[in-house]
Structure 1
Amino acid sequence: MFSNLLKFILGFFLAIAVLIGSGVAVALYFMNRTAIAPPKPIFANDSPSLQAKSPKPTETQASSNSSKEPTPSPSATPSPTESPKEPLPPGAYRGHVSWSDGLSLRSEPNQDAERIGGVGFNEKIIVLEESQDKGWQKIRVEGSKQEGWVKAGNTQKDDE
């Protein structure tokens, strides 16, 4: 009878020790998993300095193998004393970039299209057209011939 009581007590303490040990192991596992910060995502309309720090390998290879002009970085807002305003095409309107980090100009209206340049915050633009799904706008940088597609919602129409 004494041996059965001893077996019961030892078994009980052993079970408690296993439960506590496994609980501590699980807690440490999840604490370590949440302590590791994920890499910062880079979005298409991030400033060029962030994109230059971590280029994709395919972009680096494509840019070194192509004979295209280098992609221009966003320029400062032109001063109002520059050349007079050019006439607008039918259906176009003047605006400015409202996204604080500026925008990437794309060759086509989709996220995977080639980046052909950039437009800085508050820079004057001309919105030429919108895509059929209204998710993209074709713009021209005012004072230059640079045209491309940007995500809709990141520009504002200017009141003239």
Structure 2
Amino acid sequence: MLSGLTKFILGFFLAIAVLVGGGVAVALYFMNRTGIPPAKPVFSNDSPSVKAQAPKGTQPGEGKPSLTPETSTKSSPTSTPTESPKATPSPKPLPSGAYRGRVSWAEGLSLRSQPNQEAEKIGGVAFNQKIIILSKSEDKAWQKIRLEGSEQEGWVKAGNTEKVDEQQPEKPEQ
């Protein structure tokens, strides 16, 4: 009789321990899953390169792409894709103290209206994009740049750009 009562009590406590252990494990799992931050969304107005890389027909307001000889899926085995010639702008004279450069930060940079982290974002600069570095802030932590080929100017964090030697051939994009 004593062994039956002992078995009952041990079984009862074992069942309670399994239920509590399972509940704790499930709670820890869900708490850990909610503690992982989601991936940062990338919007087309954060970086000009995002909009430029979207395939034709996916931009808002565009109709469906039509199949023309250039976009046809059929191609002859001897044809090779050719890139359309790009207009090479004649280099304008740079302001005094300015030099040409490129963005060396792999994620690209935020273009800000003032040389501080809290300033309004006015655009973005993609990795390897050509820029003109106009000046540095007084504390040398920020650089005022102009996007090459446009008149847009703004501030980026210093150390994320590199000077481009115009005599050397350009580095290939990675």
Q: Same fold (TM over 0.5)?
A: yes
Look up the match of 2:83.
none
- Displacement after TM superposition at 1:138 (Å): 1.4
Q: Kindly indicate which of the two structures has a greater share of residues assigned to helix.
A: 1
Q: Per the alignment, in what secondary structure is the counterpart of residue 126 of structure 1?
A: strand
CA–CA separation in structure 2 for the residues paired with 1:139 and 1:51 = 17
What is the alpha-carbon distance in structure 2 between the residues aligned to residue 117 and residue 8 of structure 1?
74
| Partner residue, 2:55 | none
For residue 156 of structure 2, what is the aligned residue in structure 1?
A: 150
TM superposition score normalised by structure 1: 0.62
Find the partner of 1:96 among 97, 102, 109. Answer: 102
Cα pair distance change 1:30/1:41, threshold 3 Å: same
Match of 1:11 in 2: 9
Query: How far off its partner does 1:133 sit?
Result: 4.7
Residue identity matched to 1:49: S
Q: How far apart are the structure 2 equivalents of 1:7 and 1:122?
A: 77
Instruction: State the identity as a percent.
Output: 49
Aligned to 1:27: 25
Alpha-carbon offset, residue 106 of structure 1: 0.5
The amino acid of 1:95's aligned partner reads G
* Pairing of 1:33-48 with structure 2 (within 5 A): 33-35=31-33, 38-42=37-41, 48=43
Work out the CA distance in 1 between the residues paired with 2:20 and 2:8: 18
Contact residue 106 and residue 127 of structure 2 kept, 8 A: yes
Aligned to 2:92: 85
Q: Residues of 1 paired with 2:33 and 2:123: CA distance?
A: 37
TM-score, normalization by structure 2: 0.58
How many residues align structurally?
Answer: 131
Q: Secondary structure, in 3 states, of the residue corresponding to 2:44? A: helix
Greater relative CO (CA pairs within 8 A, separation 6+): 1
In 1, Cα distance between equivalents of 2:17 and 2:45: 48
Q: Spell out the pairing of 1:86-125 with structure 2 (5 A cutoff).
A: 86-90=93-97, 92-125=98-131
Q: CA deviation at 1:49?
A: 2.1
Q: CA deviation at 1:101?
A: 4.5
Aligned to 1:58: none
Deviations 1:113-136 (A, max 9, x none): 112223333222121233355442
- 2:57 aligns with none
- Structure 2 portions without partners, runs of 5+: 53-85, 167-174
